């Protein structure tokens, strides 16, 4: 009851100006190791997220191999998993023709034994991309051949163990201006990609790589008879100009008869830099195109984007409560769109949190190294936060 009161009390705090919701530096990633985590999670008596949302959609968490075992109790809340790294190109095919599926297969195995869906993240991205795929001197034909071969091999390897794929990730510019959107010049390239030709798909192929990626993924699923879906995934899609860019991209794909089932709104949000109505407007726009929507990487940083003067040692209660309001609003809208609004419209089919609990968030080092953040539904003791109650009490 107390919480509900606080939530209403601070609801008006969100009149912030929407600004860039970036989460990614443009550097190419090195191969990542999954850290060892040794912890026995505590539990308090609360309903499981997946049970509360059973009539709506699956609730997922992003994991790494080392996280699963120590967090097995907390993982009961989630009935879907995404992999933070293990399915990225540099993890799966570090050298041409040498595939390394072991780490991801471990998670797939866990998911199967524990009745969890797996979201595939991600087939084509400018980051976590080995230099052999696309760098200085690579021809367009080579790059597209390599991309198609990667997509075909990977989709075939997992079959229906992966129920949906982020086929292309982050192809749109960070924060396009309206003028860029109007002129159609809103794709990620140059400085917003890696700043070199390595990984700059757009510089080499224009949007053909996006079209070809979806065509190939669709071809493979048909050939193998797989019941899987294909998503375009990006961040900042709640910002009006970027939403419009995404809509233009989707319309172009659809006009070419290219199969695309959904849009992943990553959802790396920042307290204060978020307008709930714009989030809803995006869901509305995408579902009206006939696409399903999933929030695929939800976390809410307690800091605005960039470095900050203030750095907290622990999560202040007021901030936890404001964060709860924002979480509550996002889940509320997602529930409202979980059934199609009209014939031919898509719907919201999932929310995935980008992490299990606050002690495992990438935001502790992004975009500022070693700055503790509390972006998720469970705190660093694995206890439910006000945000947890805000999304489960409705």
* Active-site residue set: 170, 297
- Residue whose pair of structure tokens reads 């053909």 in the numeric block: 208
Joined tokens for residue 282: 């995006």
- How many other β-carbons are positioned within 10 Å of the β-carbon of residue 223? 11
Q: Name the residue nearer to ligand XIL (CB basis): 28 or 392.
A: 28
Q: How far is the CB of 121 from ligand XIL (least distance, A)?
A: 6
Asked if 173 contacts 180 with a C-beta cutoff of 8 angstroms, the reply is yes
Report which residue's Cβ sits closest to ligand XIL: 362
Long-range CB pairs of 108-117, under 8 A, 24+ apart, other chains included? 108/158, 108/161, 108/162, 110/68, 110/81, 111/81, 111/161, 112/161, 114/75, 115/79, 116/60, 116/75, 116/78, 116/79, 116/80, 116/81, 117/58, 117/60, 117/79, 117/80, 117/81, 117/163, 117/164
Q: How far is the CB of 55 from ligand XIL (least distance, A)?
A: 28
CA distance 7 to 323: 9
Q: How far is the CB of 387 from ligand XIL (least distance, A)?
A: 19
Asked if 273 contacts 22 with a C-beta cutoff of 8 angstroms, the reply is no
> Phi, psi at residue 116, to the nearest 5°?
-115, 145
Asked if 44 contacts 26 with a C-beta cutoff of 8 angstroms, the reply is no
CA distance 371 to 206: 37
Q: How far is the CB of 297 from ligand XIL (least distance, A)?
A: 6
Q: How far is the CB of 188 from ligand XIL (least distance, A)?
A: 12
Binding site for ligand XIL (CB under 6 A): 23-24, 32, 84-85, 169, 266, 297, 362
Q: Name the residue nearer to ligand XIL (CB basis): 124 or 333.
A: 124
Q: Name the residue nearer to ligand XIL (CB basis): 23 or 58.
A: 23
Joined tokens for residue 294: 């999933």
Q: How far is the CB of 123 from ligand XIL (least distance, A)?
A: 12
Q: How far is the CB of 64 from ligand XIL (least distance, A)?
A: 7
Q: Name the residue nearer to ligand XIL (CB basis): 84 or 212.
A: 84
For residue 79, say if its preceding peptide bond is cis, omega within 30 degrees of 0.
no
Q: What one-character-per-residue DSSP string does 97-152 give? A: TB---HHHHHHHHHHHHTT-EEEEEEEE-SSS--TTTS-TT--HHHHHHHHHHHHH
CA distance 315 to 205: 46
Joined tokens for residue 223: 């050939």
Q: Name the residue nearer to ligand XIL (CB basis): 279 or 389.
A: 279
Q: Name the residue nearer to ligand XIL (CB basis): 79 or 352.
A: 352
């Amino acid at each position: 009851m107390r919480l509900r009161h606080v939530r209403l009390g601070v609801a008006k705090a969100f009149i912030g100006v929407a600004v860039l919701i970036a989460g990614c530096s443009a550097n190419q990633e090195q191969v990542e190791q999954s850290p060892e985590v040794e912890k026995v999670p505590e539990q308090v008596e609360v309903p499981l997220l997946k049970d509360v949302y059973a009539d709506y959609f699956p609730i997922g968490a992003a994991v790494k191999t080392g996280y699963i075992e120590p967090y097995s109790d907390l993982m009961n809340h989630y009935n879907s998993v995404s992999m933070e790294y293990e399915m990225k190109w540099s993890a799966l095919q570090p050298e041409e023709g040498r595939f390394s599926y072991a780490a991801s297969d471990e998670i797939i195995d866990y998911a199967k034994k524990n009745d969890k869906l797996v979201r595939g993240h991600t087939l084509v991205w400018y980051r976590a991309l080995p230099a052999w795929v696309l760098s200085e001197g690579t021809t367009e034909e080579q790059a597209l051949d390599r991309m198609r071969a990667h997509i075909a091999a990977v989709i075939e390897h997992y079959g229906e163990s992966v129920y949906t794929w982020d086929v292309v990730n982050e192809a749109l510019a960070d924060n396009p201006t309206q003028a860029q959107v109007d002129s159609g010049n809103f794709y990620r390239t140059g400085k917003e990609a890696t700043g070199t030709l390595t990984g700059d798909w757009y510089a080499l192929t224009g949007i053909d790589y996006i079209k070809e990626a979806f065509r190939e993924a669709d071809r493979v699923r048909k050939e193998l008879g797989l019941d899987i879906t294909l998503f375009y995934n990006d961040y900042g899609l709640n910002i009006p100009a970027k939403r419009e860019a995404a809509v233009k991209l989707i319309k172009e794909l659809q006009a070419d008869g290219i199969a695309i089932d959904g849009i992943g709104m990553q959802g790396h949000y920042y307290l204060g830099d978020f307008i709930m109505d714009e989030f809803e407007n995006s869901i509305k726009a995408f579902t009206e195109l006939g696409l399903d929507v999933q929030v695929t990487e939800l976390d809410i940083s307690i800091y605005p984007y960039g470095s900050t003067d203030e750095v907290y040692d622990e999560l202040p209660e007021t901030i936890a409560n404001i964060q709860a309001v924002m979480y509550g609003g996002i889940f509320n809208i997602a529930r409202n769109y979980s059934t199609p609004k009209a014939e031919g419209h898509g719907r919201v089919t999932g929310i995935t949190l980008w992490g299990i609990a606050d002690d495992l968030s990438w935001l502790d080092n992004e975009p500022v190294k070693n700055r503790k953040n509390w972006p998720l539904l469970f705190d660093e003791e694995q206890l439910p936060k006000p945000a947890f109650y805000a999304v489960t009490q409705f």
